[in-house]
Amino acid sequence: MGQNDTPHKRLKVSPQVAQIVAKGAPRDVQLSAARGALPLSGKELLTVLLFFCGGKDAELRKTAVTTLRQLPTAVVLPVLQDDGVGPHLLELVARVRGSEDELAGAIIVNPQVQDATLLHLARTAPSAVLERLANHQGWLERCPEIIDAILENPQAERTLKFRFGWQEPADDQTQAEVSAEEPTEEELPDTGETTGEADIDEEIDGEIEEEGELSKYQISLTLKVSEKIKMGLTGDKEWRSLLTKDANKLVQAGVMKNPRITDGEVVAIARNKQSSDEMIRLILLNKDWMKLYEIKKALVMHPKTPLPKAIRMVPFLNQKDLKDLARSRNVQTILSTSARKELERKAKRS
């Protein structure tokens, strides 16, 4: 029995994915998921996009295709390299991003790939991908039609065609080049029993194999750096609080650039002596945050604040905080001395 003749297998999804794609799920949640704005792992995100691309909702479908097209390779590639990934997901990526050599290469060597997906790549992919496909002898033996598809592909190099017995046409006329078009709704893979809201709802209710509920901390342990950065940029308060403790500076920067981060969260970061040099630097660069008195006060006392910048903020402190700074043994002597001098100047003025 060929791989295309194998019976359809139901998709196994996590509880997070099940809640998002279920019939009756909040519209704003589904749109956020389609935009890639929810804290999901790479595999969960691609699975959600697969449901939406194969569904009936035109807006979700269009948004999901756009998101899939824009996802970083670092997010998509590990999913395609998983031998347990579903063939429908491989087909979806092949149709939307099959022209990308690295992603197409991972699809070609994945044992779950179906003949129809390989044929699509053979007909539409650029020459670099066709070379990868031609070098996989196992697929050519299983599906000889791949050779014909490569020969018909106007992007195939002549040297590659000659390997398969191709002969130069007598009139030496080549076909007009045809670039791979964006997938239309008809071309996107049908997810079988999982396509359509009614079928999705049926699986959610009874036949989806759910993984155990994971905390966001547990989920974060499985995320790649690129996924953590994305979560930092788009995640909720719990994700931001969690990722400020990550050792990677790019992840920390993602949290600080999250448009939903509040002044209160920034104050807490400035007060936390464990906050990194990078987070302190980003706070100092933000003019709106630096207008806040509590942030100035916290940064003066913070050991990671560059000394020249801390000294320049001392005159902005009120009398009570200046007295505390002057008596503090937890700051450099030059700072406590600067606080005493500022108290003396203010005393003279008054």
Residue 317 confidence (pLDDT) = 93
Q: What's the rounded Cα separation, in Å, for the pair 322 and 339?
A: 5
**Per-residue pLDDT tens for 160-169?**
777 666 666 6
- What pLDDT does 178 receive? 44
Nearest to 228 by CA among 212, 213, 244: 244
Q: Looking at 133-142, 249-258, 287-296, which range is the least confident one?
A: 133-142
| Res 306: pLDDT | 93
Q: Using a CB cutoff of 8 Å and minimum separation of 24, what contacts does 72-75 make?
A: 72/226, 73/100, 73/102, 73/103, 74/224, 74/225, 74/226, 75/42, 75/45, 75/224, 75/226, 75/227, 75/230
Categorize the per-residue pLDDT at 184 as very low, low, confident or very high, splitting at 50, 70 and 90.
low
Q: Which two tokens stand for residue 86?
A: 């579903």
DSSP string, 132-144: HHHT-HHHHHH-T
The answer to whether residue 261 scores a pLDDT higher than 60 is: yes
* Rounded Cα gap, residues 323 and 6, in angstroms: 78
Q: Is the pLDDT of residue 341 over 90?
A: yes
CB 220 within 8 A of CB 243: yes
- The two tokens of residue 335 are 């700072």
Question: pLDDT per residue over 229-240, tens digit each?
Answer: 888 888 889 889
Q: Where are the domains of the chain?
A: 3-205, 218-349
Say what the pLDDT of residue 230 is. Answer: 84
Positive or negative: CA dihedral 197, 63, 69, 99:
positive
Q: 73-108, pLDDT tens digit by residue?
A: 888 899 899 888 888 889 889 888 888 888 988 998
pLDDT of residue 144: 74
- 274 by Cβ neighbours in 10 Å (0-12 / 13-18 / 19+) ranks as exposed
Confidence of residue 262 (pLDDT cuts 50, 70, 90): very high
User: What is this structure's pTM?
Assistant: 0.48
What local confidence, expressed as pLDDT, does residue 170 receive?
A: 57
Mean pLDDT in residue range 329-349 = 90
Please write the tens of the pLDDT for every residue from 19-45. Answer: 888 888 888 888 888 888 888 888 888
**Average pLDDT, integer, range 264-284:** 92
Percent of the chain with pLDDT over 90: 23
Provide the pLDDT confidence category of residue 6 given band limits of 50, 70 and 90: very low
Question: pLDDT for 144-156, tens place per residue?
Answer: 787 788 888 888 8
